[in-house]
Amino acid sequence: MRYVSYEEPFKNKIFTEKQMREVYRDMVNKKEYPDFDCWISDMLKSGVFETEGEWEKLKELKPCKWCGGKGKWISMPHDKDILVAIECMDCHIGTGFRKNKKEVLQLWNNKRRKVGK
């Protein structure tokens, strides 16, 4: 299993299981996450990391519903979290910021689907 992150400082880097364990060992607060498995499951749930296969799916953004432009991921820090959204690079209409990346992707792609083609 390999993992990908969309957040700094790991943006777009691919991690092997072994490297993920090193990240956990060196950077994670062990009081918050006492073991690797609970950390990684939380990371996957919140979308900070994705498995490589899932990431490939997430990268495929549908074109903008309004203008057909390209969507891009944007992120914004909020309290302790990072919120993400997808915004059109041409008309700048976006999904609005959410914590969960998959939810944002669904919003973006579903908005598109309603138009039908």
* Cα radius of gyration (the chain): 16
User: What is the longest distance spanned by two Cα atoms in the chain?
Assistant: 51
Q: Minimum Å distance from CB 64 to Zn ion?
A: 3
Q: Which residue among 2, 58, 83, 90 contacts Zn ion (CB under 5 A)?
A: 90
State yes or no: residue 4 binds Zn ion (CB under 5 A): no
Per-residue x/- track, 60-89, Zn ion (CB under 5 A): ----x-xx-x------------------x-
Contacts of 17 (CB under 8 A, 6+ apart): 1, 2, 3
CB 108 within 8 A of CB 63: no
The site for Zn ion (CB under 5 A) is made up of 64, 66-67, 69, 88, 90-91
